[in-house]
């Protein structure tokens, strides 16, 4: 949430900063701004709206200088407008600051600062930081910018990823982090900072992940990292693990469509070198050192948010089936403020695409503080959740830029299946023969996903009908109930059509009252264990003249008698139907949103990587 980019070096500032902002636009897009320092003077521009508005505003302006910062915002405090956009300044405009996170005690700080004659011009929490830093700079003779930032941050409760420039400290960026990600890009005679490495990946592949409570000073020729308690740190320079073309659209109209189509590859990548059907083996390097913990685990708690939470719901069934121990799935935002009872042998698994979701991070910290073993299933390499878990497995799905999560979901389910299989074998609850069959089938899934993607034309036709409705109901049972939730979430978040996911049999306990011509029903009815039960639910909808889109297994032609529309998916094992059934629902949402002329990759009010609670 909120994208930050900063640069110190000889390249034209405007190009580097605006290029970086464009790469980070998925993190927020309600307003944007840029500030540069040239010869001890600051220049600042900020506008409401998307980054294009900022581009238009600064076209033709000379924004050359030695250092600069830029920000794309997802509003928390104060509506999106020119004033509330970042960068923010203090009273005398000597410094400029960009911030991601929330200053929780901003109200108290603002009151104190007002009493000390500071004048505020915005409704943001961030502005107090600018005034505090300014005050510390002015109160201490010869005080360095890093010392002023450090002193200011000692007064602050909350989360921050921030970058500050000051006209009296030319050529310098001061960067600090608590709870909101920041990555330093190390170049030759130039250095960068960004909310993630995509902001500067075309210039350098050497990066340093700033850790919580660290502060860095960056110039074009140097960088140093210390703690907020002023202890020196020796940062590790790592390398970006993905290629530049992975963060480009590659000929697709939207990132979401590209990411949907990447799934045969990303599902394969998430099991590459890990799954050995002939040896009946699952090798997950990240979990090798904790096999004893997995083997003796007596209970699993999954925690996540949004789409990742849906992947955990699928995992619950997988783990109950293969591992035969109790499994709970918790919304991280609820779990973090609960008083969970951790019985001996409890293992917590945090699932997150970004690895930065604030609630998921807080949930895992809660468990960790109680001495619970905490594992992660994360996509973004080096992210905070990846670093704070005791062990874990990466998805290897590559960067996911579309705000609506697609390929992360299928990779999460694939990886979670592998962990369940591994645990089943370690515990002896899954026979070798059954495991072998499941492993052979998992390797066939990429090809099966490919065949669904080939049905796009018929899905576009169905989407044109759905694009005109105001409501939709998604139903599934067993393994496919979470897919119903995920299908409904995809539709509402990018097309703004109200949609609900329900366990199919629950429909008659309430939602059935809603069924009419304006409320099509999507029913997941693959040929699994509960197929006949789902058919009864379809009959109940037909009896009320509802229009029904059925996702059924290839070869099931009789279903056409009951359905208005049918999408076929290949046959697989019950436990893998979610990986196939979700694909047409992703495509449906995408094409509905396109038909309604919605901004697919940047849906209103949303942003990727929810780093505030
Ligand atoms: C929906 C979506 C969100 C995320 C959620 C968790 O399409 O993208 O619901 O799934 O914000 O994000 P991560 O997985 O990054 O923790």
Question: Which has the minimum average pLDDT: 136-140, 151-155, 222-226?
Answer: 136-140
Tokens of 267: 């599902």
Tokens of 282: 């699952």
Q: In the predicted model, what is the mean pLDDT of the chain?
A: 96
* pLDDT score of 370 more than 90: yes
Phi-psi region of 413 (alpha: psi -120 to 50; beta: other; left: phi over 0): alpha
Instruction: Report d(CA 219, CA 217) in Å as an integer.
Output: 7
Instruction: Report d(CA 473, CA 500) in Å as an integer.
Output: 5
Query: Partners of 176 in the beta sheet?
Result: 162, 215
- Ligand 1 contacts CB of residue 373 (under 6 A): no
DSSP 8-state code for residue 483: H
- Ligand 1 contacts CB of residue 357 (under 6 A): yes
Instruction: Tell which residue, 529, 524, 532, has the closest CA to residue 488.
Output: 524
Nearest residue (by CA) to ligand 1, atom 16, is 352
Show Cβ contacts of residue 413 under 8 Å, excluding neighbours closer than 6 positions: 311, 314, 315, 578, 579
Query: Partners of 3 in the beta sheet?
Result: 72
Instruction: Report d(CA 3, CA 195) in Å as an integer.
Output: 6
Torsion of Cα atoms, 488 then 491 then 492 then 498, to 10°: -70
What is the tens place of the pLDDT at every residue in 542-571?
999 899 999 999 999 999 999 999 999 999
DSSP 8-state code for residue 300: E
Sheet with strand 160-166: strands edge to edge: 95-100, 160-166, 173-178, 214-218, 223-227, 232-233
Interval between CA 15 and ligand 1 midpoint (Å): 30
Contact by Cβ (8 Å): 30, 73: yes
Instruction: Report d(CA 246, CA 106) in Å as an integer.
Output: 39
- Ligand 1 contacts CB of residue 122 (under 6 A): no
* Residue 607 to residues 3, 136, 354, 612, Cα–Cα distance (Å): 10, 34, 12, 11
What is the tens place of the pLDDT at every residue in 98-113?
999 999 999 999 999 9
- Give the pLDDT mean for 575-588: 98
Q: Quote the pLDDT of residue 610.
A: 84
Instruction: Report d(CA 490, CA 45) in Å as an integer.
Output: 35
DSSP 8-state code for residue 210: P
Domains of the chain: 3-240 (3.60.20.10), 245-443 (3.40.50.10490), 453-601 (3.40.50.10490)
* pLDDT score of 192 more than 90: yes
Q: Quote the pLDDT of residue 607.
A: 83
Say whether 2 is catalytic. Answer: yes
- Give the number of the atom of ligand 1 that is nearest the alpha carbon of residue 310: 10
Q: Which one of 610, 611, 613 would you pick to mutate in the ligand 1 pocket, going by the greatest count of ligand atoms within 8 A of its CB?
A: 610
Instruction: Report d(CA 475, CA 462) in Å as an integer.
Output: 17
Contact by Cβ (8 Å): 611, 358: yes
Nearest residue (by CA) to ligand 1, atom 5, is 306
Interval between CA 609 and ligand 1 midpoint (Å): 7
- Ligand 1 contacts CB of residue 601 (under 6 A): no
CB atoms inside a 10 Å sphere around CB 64: 12
Residue 241 CB burial class (10 angstroms; 0-12, 13-18, ≥19)? middle
**How large is the angle between the packed helices 13-24 and 51-58, nearest 10 degrees?**
160
Cis omega (within 30 of 0) for bond into 247: no
- Give the pLDDT mean for 116-123: 96
Integer-rounded Cα radius of gyration of the chain: 25
Interval between CA 404 and ligand 1 midpoint (Å): 8
Sheet with strand 498-503: strands edge to edge: 498-503, 471-476, 521-525, 548-553, 565-569
- Ligand 1 contacts CB of residue 305 (under 6 A): yes
Q: What does DSSP say about strands 67-73 and 31-38: parallel, antiparallel, or unpaired?
A: antiparallel
Q: What does DSSP say about strands 373-378 and 346-352: parallel, antiparallel, or unpaired?
A: parallel
Q: What does DSSP say about strands 95-100 and 41-48: parallel, antiparallel, or unpaired?
A: unpaired
Q: Which one of 27, 303, 305 would you pick to mutate in the ligand 1 pocket, going by the greatest count of ligand atoms within 8 A of its CB?
A: 305
What is the tens place of the pLDDT at every residue in 48-63?
999 999 999 999 999 9
* pLDDT score of 516 more than 90: no
Interval between CA 515 and ligand 1 midpoint (Å): 29
- Ligand 1 contacts CB of residue 610 (under 6 A): yes
Interval between CA 607 and ligand 1 midpoint (Å): 9
Contact by Cβ (8 Å): 37, 167: yes
- Ligand 1 contacts CB of residue 493 (under 6 A): yes
Show Cβ contacts of residue 536 under 8 Å, excluding neighbours closer than 6 positions: none
- Ligand 1 contacts CB of residue 352 (under 6 A): yes
Q: Write down the catalytic residue from 2, 305, 312, 575.
A: 2
Say whether 608 is catalytic. Answer: yes
* pLDDT score of 518 more than 90: no
Cis omega (within 30 of 0) for bond into 87: yes
Nearest residue (by CA) to ligand 1, atom 11, is 306
Q: Write down the catalytic residue from 46, 490, 492, 608.
A: 608
What is the tens place of the pLDDT at every residue in 295-349?
999 999 999 999 999 999 999 999 999 999 999 999 999 999 999 999 999 999 9
Instruction: Tell which residue, 33, 34, 116, 106, has the closest CA to residue 67.
Output: 34
DSSP 8-state code for residue 504: G
What is the tens place of the pLDDT at every residue in 141-159?
889 999 999 999 999 999 9
Note the helical H segments in 349-431. 358-369, 384-388, 407-427
How big is the CA angle at 181 (ends 177 and 187), to the nearest 5 degrees?
90
Nearest residue (by CA) to ligand 1, atom 4, is 306
Tokens of 488: 């409904």
- Ligand 1 contacts CB of residue 353 (under 6 A): yes
- Ligand 1 contacts CB of residue 399 (under 6 A): no
Interval between CA 350 and ligand 1 midpoint (Å): 13
Torsion of Cα atoms, 548 then 554 then 557 then 558, to 10°: -70
Nearest residue (by CA) to ligand 1, atom 9, is 306
Contact by Cβ (8 Å): 7, 189: no
Q: Which one of 254, 306, 608 would you pick to mutate in the ligand 1 pocket, going by the greatest count of ligand atoms within 8 A of its CB?
A: 306
- Give the pLDDT mean for 115-142: 95
Q: How confident is the model at residue 609 (pLDDT cuts 50, 70, 90)?
A: confident
- Ligand 1 contacts CB of residue 1 (under 6 A): no
Nearest residue (by CA) to ligand 1, atom 8, is 405
- Give the number of the atom of ligand 1 that is nearest the alpha carbon of residue 406: 7
Q: Quote the pLDDT of residue 603.
A: 92
Query: Partners of 173 in the beta sheet?
Result: 218
Instruction: Report d(CA 164, CA 185) in Å as an integer.
Output: 16
DSSP 8-state code for residue 552: E
CB atoms inside a 10 Å sphere around CB 324: 14
Interval between CA 360 and ligand 1 midpoint (Å): 10
Query: Partners of 215 in the beta sheet?
Result: 176, 226
SS3 196: coil
Contact by Cβ (8 Å): 149, 176: yes
* pLDDT score of 599 more than 90: yes
- Ligand 1 contacts CB of residue 307 (under 6 A): yes
Q: Which one of 260, 302, 303, 308 would you pick to mutate in the ligand 1 pocket, going by the greatest count of ligand atoms within 8 A of its CB?
A: 308
* pLDDT score of 608 more than 90: no
Instruction: Report d(CA 609, CA 2) in Å as an integer.
Output: 9
Percent of the chain with pLDDT over 70: 100
Nearest residue (by CA) to ligand 1, atom 7, is 404
Q: How confident is the model at residue 140 (pLDDT cuts 50, 70, 90)?
A: confident
Interval between CA 409 and ligand 1 midpoint (Å): 9
Interval between CA 221 and ligand 1 midpoint (Å): 37
Interval between CA 22 and ligand 1 midpoint (Å): 21
Tokens of 260: 């949907």
Interval between CA 307 and ligand 1 midpoint (Å): 5
Instruction: Tell which residue, 16, 19, 193, has the closest CA to residue 99.
Output: 193
- Give the number of the atom of ligand 1 that is nearest the alpha carbon of residue 360: 16
- Ligand 1 contacts CB of residue 360 (under 6 A): yes
Interval between CA 506 and ligand 1 midpoint (Å): 26
């Amino acid at each position: 949430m909120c994208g930050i980019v900063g640069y110190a070096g000889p390249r034209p500032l405007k190009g580097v900063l605006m290029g970086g902002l464009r790469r980070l636009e998925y993190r927020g897009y309600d307003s944007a701004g840029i500030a540069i320092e040239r010869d001890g003077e600051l220049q600042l521009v900020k506008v409401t709206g998307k980054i294009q508005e900022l581009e238009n505003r600064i076209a033709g302006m000379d924004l050359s200088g030695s250092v600069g910062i830029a920000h794309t915002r997802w509003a928390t405090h104060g509506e999106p407008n020119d004033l509330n956009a970042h960068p923010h300044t203090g009273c005398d405009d000597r410094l400029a600051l960009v911030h991601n996170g929330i200053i929780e005690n901003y109200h108290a700080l603002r009151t104190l600062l007002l009493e000390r004659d500071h004048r505020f011009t915005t409704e943001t929490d961030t502005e107090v930081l600018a005034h505090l830093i300014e005050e510390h700079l002015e109160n201490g003779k010869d005080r360095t910018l890093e010392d002023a930032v450090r002193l200011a941050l000692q007064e602050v409760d909350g989360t921050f990823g921030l970058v500050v420039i000051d006209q009296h400290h030319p050529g310098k960026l001061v960067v600090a982090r608590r709870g909101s990600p920041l990555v330093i890009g190390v170049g030759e005679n130039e250095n960068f900072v960004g909310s993630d490495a995509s902001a500067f990946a075309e210039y350098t592949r050497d990066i340093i992940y700033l850790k919580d409570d660290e502060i860095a000073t960056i110039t074009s020729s140097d960088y140093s990292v210390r703690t907020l308690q002023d202890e020196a740190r020796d940062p590790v320079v790592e390398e970006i693990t993905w290629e530049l073309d992975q963060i480009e659209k590659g000929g697709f109209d939207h990132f979401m469509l590209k990411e949907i189509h990447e799934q045969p590859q990303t599902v394969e990548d998430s099991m590459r070198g890990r799954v050995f059907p002939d040896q009946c083996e699952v090798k997950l390097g990240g979990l090798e050192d904790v096999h004893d913990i997995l083997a003796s685990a007596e209970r699993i708690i999954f925690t996540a948010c949004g789409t990742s939470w849906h992947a955990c719901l699928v995992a619950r069934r997988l783990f109950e089936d293969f591992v035969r121990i109790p499994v709970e799935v918790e919304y991280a935002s609820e779990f973090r403020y609960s008083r969970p009872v951790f019985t001996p042998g409890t293992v917590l698994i945090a699932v997150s695409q970004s690895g930065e979701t604030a609630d998921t991070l807080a949930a895992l910290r809660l468990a960790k503080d109680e001495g619970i073993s905490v594992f992660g299933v994360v996509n973004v390499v080096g992210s905070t959740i990846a670093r704070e878990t005791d062990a874990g497995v990466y998805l290897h799905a590559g960067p996911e830029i579309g705000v609506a999560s697609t390929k992360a979901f299928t990779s999460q389910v694939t990886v979670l299946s592998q962990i369940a299989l591994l645990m089943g074998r370690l515990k002896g609850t899954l026979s070798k023969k059954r495991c072998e069959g499941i492993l052979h089938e998992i390797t066939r899934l990429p090809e099966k996903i490919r065949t669904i993607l080939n049905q796009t034309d018929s899905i576009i036709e169905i989407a044109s009908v759905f694009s005109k409705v105001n409501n939709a109901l998604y139903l599934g049972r067993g393994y496919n109930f979470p897919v119903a939730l995920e299908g409904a979430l995809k539709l509402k978040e990018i097309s703004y059509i109200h949609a609900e996911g329900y366990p199919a049999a629950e429909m008659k306990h309430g939602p059935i009252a809603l069924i009419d011509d304006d409320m099509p029903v999507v029913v997941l009815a693959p040929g699994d264990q509960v197929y006949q039960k789902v058919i009864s639910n379809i009959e109940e909808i037909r009896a009320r003249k509802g229009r029904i889109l059925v996702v059924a297994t290839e070869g099931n032609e009789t279903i056409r008698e009951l359905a208005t529309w049918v999408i076929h998916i290949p046959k697989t094992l019950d436990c893998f139907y979610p990986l196939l059934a979700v694909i047409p629902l992703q495509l449906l949402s995408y094409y509905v949103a396109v038909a309604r002329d919605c901004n697919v990759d940047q849906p209103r009010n949303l942003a990727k990587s929810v780093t505030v609670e």
